[in-house]
Amino acid sequence: MINIFKLSKDSIMKKVENAGFPAYRGKQLIDWIYNKSVFDVESMTNLDKEFKEYLINNIKFVTLETLKIIEDDKSETIKFLLLLGDRNTIEMVIMRYKDKDSSKNRNTLCLSSQVGCKVKCPFCATGTDGLVRNLKAEEIVQQVTIANSFLKKYDTKINNVVFMGMGEPFFNKDEVLKAASLIKENYEISSRKITISTSGVIEGIKELADKELKYVLAVSLHAPTDRIRDFLVPINKKYPLNELIKACRYYQTKTKKRITFEYIMINGMNIWPDDARQLANLLKGIDCHINGIPVNSVSDSEFERPKKKDIYSFKKMCEKYGLSFSIREEKGTDIEGACGQLKNKERK
Ligand code: SAH
Ligand code: SF4
């Protein structure tokens, strides 16, 4: 049995033809899955009995199950708890940005690449228990199918994908890059709309550069000095700032693409005037944008969200030094939208 979400459209066509069915059957199958978001063979009404039997006996369609969906009042943030075949659970979040002109609506899917994470950033709920296992490419791709299937009721689809859910994508690099390429091809989502967020795994950044893959690179920087970053992003001890920034410069020389730096904002920790100055120094000459993320407090944690005025004064200082800086829209905080939070709550 092969999982359908491992296959590109071309390989689906080949497989169907090799099994002795006409090409239009392959096209119908692709239409059910990728246009109609239907995965139950019995509901694929225009297929004949023989082809359905072949599919049921040879192809696996769904291995992820939806355990729970939490939708906020305005249905702007929809959070999913998903069950994997081996009973582990992961989360994903749909963020909907509605525009007056509905053709400009954006639906972003924040998906997971691992169960747990070994990086163990102290503010992050995902890292609490370390790494459980990597996701397979097909388990990553299937998250998009589940999201699209949910969005059918709003007559819309996912058009942006961010690897910002559970896990460090570059510690599962091969499956993540396989999944990203399948998402790009099968869902026709361009590389410019696929973001990979890394805590700073240098091999991953170099591979994007060397292969000239045009995904958007986001780096979770969070601090301008090794002293603070060693604490906030513990793999900084393995990949210190000077090497990380060197890799980012290499990436930019190769791809000419702008880099996003994520910067979690924590009260009393990393938003002092001196941090803004050092940050500007560190990033000098890199074409980049900084995404300030006011920290979401994970239950009884020591990490406190700064006051609004402190958040804005840090932004102003960074801008004064010439950095492009935006504050991430707060979505999902009321439904435990930060990665790993829902899962931990369910377990309790
Ligand atoms: N492991 C990768 C991608 C997943 S985390 C990485 O760290 O980049 C995606 C983003 O969510 C990261 O920038 C991370 O720092 C942020 N994040 C994690 N926990 C958070 C919290 N409690 N509040 C706000 N942002 C958080
Ligand atoms: Fe892992 Fe990212 Fe969470 Fe850090 S922030 S523990 S790298 S998922």
31 pLDDT higher than 90:
yes
* CATH 3.20.20.70 in the chain, residue ranges: 65-347
Nearest atom in ligand 1 to 198's CA: 8
pLDDT one-digit tens code per residue, 280-304: 999 999 999 999 999 988 766 789 9
Instruction: Give the 3-state secondary structure of residue 287.
Output: coil
- CATH code given to domain 2-60: 1.10.150.530
pLDDT of residue 285: 95
Residue-level length of the chain? 348
Distance 236 CA to ligand 1 centre (A): 15
From ligand 1's centre to the CA of 339, what distance in Å? 7
Long-range contacts of 173-178 (CB under 8 A, 24+ apart): 173/201, 173/203, 173/204, 173/207, 175/113, 175/134, 175/135, 175/136, 175/137, 175/140, 176/113, 176/137, 176/140, 177/207, 177/213, 178/137
**Beta strands at 106-110 and 325-327: parallel, antiparallel or unpaired:** unpaired
C-alpha of residue 32 to centroid of ligand 1, in Å: 35
Residue 116: nearest ligand to its CA? 2
Per-residue pLDDT band at 105 (split at 50, 70, 90): confident
- Give pLDDT, residue 103: 74
Average pLDDT, the chain: 93
pLDDT at res. 302: 82
In the chain, ranges of CATH 1.10.150.530 domains:
2-60
Q: Is 339 a catalytic residue?
A: yes
- The structure's pTM equals 0.94
Q: What is the bridge-based pairing of β-strands 106-110 and 160-163?
A: parallel
Q: What is the pLDDT at residue 128?
A: 85
Average pLDDT over residues 301-323: 94
Ligand of minimum distance to the alpha carbon of 338 = 1
What pLDDT does 344 receive?
58
Q: Please write the tens of the pLDDT for every residue from 214-257.
A: 999 999 999 999 999 999 999 999 999 999 999 999 999 999 99
Domain over 65-347 is classified CATH 3.20.20.100: no
User: Active site includes 248?
Assistant: no
Average pLDDT over residues 185-190: 95
